[in-house]
């Protein structure tokens, strides 16, 4: 009994340190659109000019869920920047599966736009650069969580691309924005096929024993399970 009590006491003493080690918010700053606070509870500065800035700055899961639902209800013109901020805020409030979904939906929407539009055009270049910055800075945290369960990741990854395919970005078809030579819809279709092939290639690779071993070793070295796989 004494041994059991000692073990229990040691585990309890370790809990605060373990909790502090867990990555519970995404420390991302992408000027001028988003700047996270120093602590998870701090209100971030959001400036996407999408009409969602105020609720996206909320620390309430209910407010973040309302933004998600509003975007799903009227997705056509929502920029990848706004979707990336939704991904970051979803992670911060504990909606981490939603975070993975919107992170990849934003990337895929941007990829389809870049395949159709002239990326040197100022507005397209601005959105692409910001989306890339979010992906580079937020990706390690979101993917750290995503790889806690590879089967779940593969499902969400496919669902994100499905959503992008079913909800094409309206900006792609604006005649006021220059496009690459050729038919816009053909470019879009080709981009979606290429993205689908990449997703399936990655899914297949994640199931190969040698790739599993590499991933497990890398995550062990990075202590990823302790950082990202908390409940």
CB 132 within 8 A of CB 193: no
Write out the residue range of the structural domain in which residue 79 sits. 24-228
169-205: pLDDT as tens digits: 999 999 999 999 999 999 999 999 999 999 999 999 9
Nearest CA to 138 out of 80, 68, 88, 98 is that of: 88
Q: Is the pLDDT of residue 48 over 70?
A: yes
Compute the average pLDDT of residues 35-46.
86
Whether 2 maps to a domain, the answer reads: no
What's the rounded Cα separation, in Å, for the pair 144 and 228? 6
What's the rounded Cα separation, in Å, for the pair 62 and 102? 16
Domain tally, the chain: 1
Higher pLDDT, 134 or 37: 134
Whether 11 maps to a domain, the answer reads: no
Q: Could you count the other beta carbons within 10 Å of the beta carbon of residue 173?
A: 15
Whether 213 maps to a domain, the answer reads: yes
Whether 58 maps to a domain, the answer reads: yes
Whether 37 maps to a domain, the answer reads: yes
Whether 127 maps to a domain, the answer reads: yes
Compute the average pLDDT of residues 3-25.
50
What's the rounded Cα separation, in Å, for the pair 145 and 86? 16
CA atoms within 13 A on the CB side of 104: 24
Nearest CA to 80 out of 168, 153, 144 is that of: 168
Q: Residue for token digits 């009994």?
A: 1
CB 218 within 8 A of CB 207: no
DSSP H or E segment with residue 207:
none
CB 29 within 8 A of CB 133: no
What is the pLDDT at residue 20? Answer: 55
* β-bridge pairing 34-35 and 45-46: antiparallel
Q: Is the pLDDT of residue 10 over 50?
A: no
Helix (H, G, I), strand (E, B) or coil at 44: coil
72-118: pLDDT as tens digits: 999 999 999 999 999 999 999 999 999 999 999 999 999 999 999 99
Nearest CA to 22 out of 117, 90, 92 is that of: 92
Lowest mean pLDDT among 2-6, 37-41, 100-104: 2-6
Whether 194 maps to a domain, the answer reads: yes
């Amino acid at each position: 009994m004494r041994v059991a009590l000692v073990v229990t006491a040691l585990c309890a003493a370790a809990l605060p340190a373990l909790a502090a080690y867990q990555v519970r918010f995404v420390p991302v700053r992408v000027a001028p659109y988003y700047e996270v606070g120093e602590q998870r509870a701090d209100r971030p500065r959001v400036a996407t000019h999408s009409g969602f800035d105020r609720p996206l700055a909320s620390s309430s899961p209910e407010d973040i869920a309302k933004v998600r639902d509003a975007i799903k209800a009227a997705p056509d013109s929502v920029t990848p920047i706004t979707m990336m901020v939704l991904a970051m805020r979803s992670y911060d409030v504990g909606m981490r599966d939603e975070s993975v979904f919107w992170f990849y939906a934003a990337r895929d929407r941007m990829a389809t736009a870049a395949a159709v539009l002239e990326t040197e055009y100022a507005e397209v270049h601005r959105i692409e650069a910001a989306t890339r910055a979010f992906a580079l800075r937020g990706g390690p945290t979101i993917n750290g969580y995503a790889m806690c369960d590879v089967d779940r990741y593969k499902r969400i990854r496919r669902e994100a691309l499905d959503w992008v395919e079913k909800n094409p970005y309206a900006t792609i078809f604006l005649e006021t924005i220059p496009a690459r030579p050729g038919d816009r819809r053909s470019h879009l279709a080709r981009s979606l096929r290429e993205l689908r092939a990449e997703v399936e290639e990655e899914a297949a690779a994640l199931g190969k024993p040698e790739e599993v071993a590499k991933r497990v070793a890398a995550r062990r070295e990075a202590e990823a399970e302790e950082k990202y796989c908390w409940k």
